Amino acid sequence: MWWGAALEAPDPRALAAFYSGLLDWPVSHEEQGTVVLAAPGGAVFLVFQESPGYQPPVWPPRSGSLRPMMHLDFQVERLDEAVVEAIALGATVAEDQPNDSVRVMFDPAGHPFCLCRDDD
């Protein structure tokens, strides 16, 4: 059974607050250096763990730089509105974008994530 993903951060509480606002998921557990968010129903979790010396990955990947090992994708109904909401929570928009139906963003700790327009 897949439980969830863990993201390293210099401040796990702040990063958890960002994703809690973005996803409307509550904090389900917190201890020194670790904060866990639970999806409604508690079937999937996001864990934020303190990482001293954390360095954000670089996107798009560049030779000699720490490249992203993974990223999170979120499907949204209204892409432009979702981007504005993410920015209000502390995200930034990446300079390079793959196409018109996806926005690559960076969370406050520098992890890339994508907002993907629901075209159905």
Q: Mean pLDDT over all residues of the chain? A: 92
> Has residue 90 been placed in a domain?
yes
> Has residue 60 been placed in a domain?
no
pLDDT digits (tens, 9 = 90+) for 3-40: 889 999 999 999 999 999 999 999 999 999 999 999 99
pLDDT digits (tens, 9 = 90+) for 78-117: 999 999 999 999 999 999 998 999 999 999 999 999 999 9
> Has residue 22 been placed in a domain?
yes
How much is the pTM?
0.89
> Has residue 81 been placed in a domain?
yes
Nearest CA to 51 out of 114, 4, 111, 106 is that of 111
Residue-level pLDDT at 113:
96
Residue-level pLDDT at 120:
61
Q: Are residues 34 and 85 in the same domain?
A: no
Q: Residues 6 or more apart from 55 whose CB is under 8 A from it?
A: 66
Q: Residues 6 or more apart from 116 whose CB is under 8 A from it?
A: 73, 74, 75, 76, 79, 101, 102
Q: 103 - beta bridge partners?
A: 115
Question: In this structure, what CATH number is given to the domain that contains residue 47?
Answer: 3.30.720.120
CA distance 99 to 27: 33
> Has residue 93 been placed in a domain?
yes
Q: Are residues 78 and 108 in the same domain?
A: yes
Question: Please, which contacts does 32-41 make with residues 24 or more away whose CB atoms are closer than 8 Å?
Answer: 36/4
Q: Are residues 69 and 113 in the same domain?
A: yes
> Has residue 59 been placed in a domain?
no
Q: Are residues 97 and 120 in the same domain?
A: yes
Domain region containing 42: 1-51
